[in-house]
Structures are given as C-alpha cells and as structure tokens.
Chains A and B, each alone.
Chain A
Amino acid sequence: QKEVEQNSGPLSVPEGAIASLNCTYSDRGSQSFFWYRQYSGKSPELIMFIYSNGDKEDGRFTAQLNKASQYVSLLIRDSQPSDSATYLCAVKGGSYIPTFGRGTSLIVHP
C-alpha cells in the first residue's frame, strides 16, 4: 500500500513568517511530487511540482525533495493571510494515479 503522510495541523504562523509543510512517502519508486492548495469549499489547485532532488523555487514557494529520506516539503516565504488553506501533497510513480496525503491545514494570522 502506497502511503503519503502529512501532519494534519493546523500549522499556525504569523504574517510574514516562513511556513514549512512536510510530507513523507512510502514508495521508493515515486517519480513526481506535487503540492496542491485547497481553499475551504473549493477544489485543489496545483502550486508546485518537483521530480529532482534538491530545491525548486517559484516566487514565494520553494519545494524541496529528498528521495533518499523519502520526504518532500513546501516552504512559503513571507506568508500572507491569503495563504491560509489546506495543502495537499501528492506523489506519483509510473502509473496514472497519484497518491494524496490528507493535507495540512495552514493558518496565517495577521
């Protein structure tokens, strides 16, 4: 059984701080890693994907992948109240179907 684990939170950070969201996965054959953001009552939207070890930056977001340790993380710099949402980690191997974590709730307070 492929598993993707995330701390459910909530993770609470002050505005302007760095929010760090973590995800671990069980399948060593995993190739692609995705972070989705989901606002309450809305559908998930992709914010980052990564498939090579190391860091990938896009604006205020940085995804970090460590395949040896089987974890992927998302850093959000200069967190804003509008970043308050649930963040879903998804991991995909060679099949069509990603495995999703249950998500981490992030609250950015002013």
Chain B
Amino acid sequence: DVKVTQSSRYLVKRTGEKVFLECVQDMDHENMFWYRQDPGLGLRLIYFSYDVKMKEKGDIPEGYSVSREKKERFSLILESASTNQTSMYLCASSVTGTGRSYEQYFGPGTRLTVT
C-alpha cells in the first residue's frame, strides 16, 4: 500500500527558529513535492524534486529551502520561521512517466504554527 509519512502532525515554533519538516515515501517514487495550503488560497507549490539532490522552485519558494539526499526522503527547511509561514504543509510524491496519469500521493500534513 502506498505510503507517504510526515514527521509531525502538529508543530509550534517561535519566530526566528529554524524549522525542519521531513517527508518519507516508501513507493520508490522519483518525484517529491512540498505544498502549503491556506484557506481560500488552495494548494501552493513551494519546491519539488525529480531526483536525488535535484530540486526546482515552485510558485512560492521564498523563505524556504529543501534537501533530498536520499530518494525516499524530502525535507523542507524554514531558515528563519515567521508568523506568515503558519500553515498546513503537505508533502506528496509521484512516479515519473510519459504522458498520462501518475497521480500524486499525499502525506497526512503538518500543521505548523509560528508564534
């Protein structure tokens, strides 16, 4: 059964702290993604990775960085957390394939609160 796990369901951090969010998938997927989801704004892509050590910026990369040292693990780093980064963070993975299909599988999400 497909599985994407995230290190925490809920996290509370202080402004200025460095925050690590971890995501692990057990499906041998090439692609991994980090999104944030806010009411009324939908899913917004922060970063994605299509291979180990490869990363690409999404729509809102400012204030974030990522690391992918192993195929199964994709980390999102908030270098200096700010209150406007309070959000639900969702990790997803997918297979690389030509053409059709290949849906994303999502982790359970991390609700981050920055105070």
The interface of chain A, by Cβ under 8 A from chain B, is: 8, 31-32, 34, 41-46, 49, 51, 88, 90, 92, 94, 96-98, 100-103
Contact = CB atoms under 8 A, between A and B. Distances in A.
Interface of B: 31, 33, 40-43, 45, 48, 50, 58, 90, 94, 96, 98-109, 111
B106 A32 contact: no
A43 B109 CA distance: 6
A93 B99 CA distance: 7
B49 to A, nearest CB: 10
Contact of A32 (B50, B90, B100, B105): B100
Contact of A46 (B41, B100, B103): B103
Contacts of B111: 41
A97 B107 contact: no
B100 A96 contact: no
A86 to B, nearest CB: 10
The prevalent SS among residues of A at the interface is loop
Contacts of A46: 103-105
A102 B96 contact: no
A51 B100 contact: yes
A50 B104 CA distance: 14
B43 A88 contact: yes
A96 B42 contact: no
A32 B102 contact: yes
Given A45-B106, A97-B48, A102-B40, 5 more contacts: A8-B40, A32-B100, A90-B104, A96-B94, A100-B43
A98 B108 contact: no
Contact of A101 (B31, B40, B42, B100): B42
Given A43-B108, A96-B96, A51 B45 contact: no
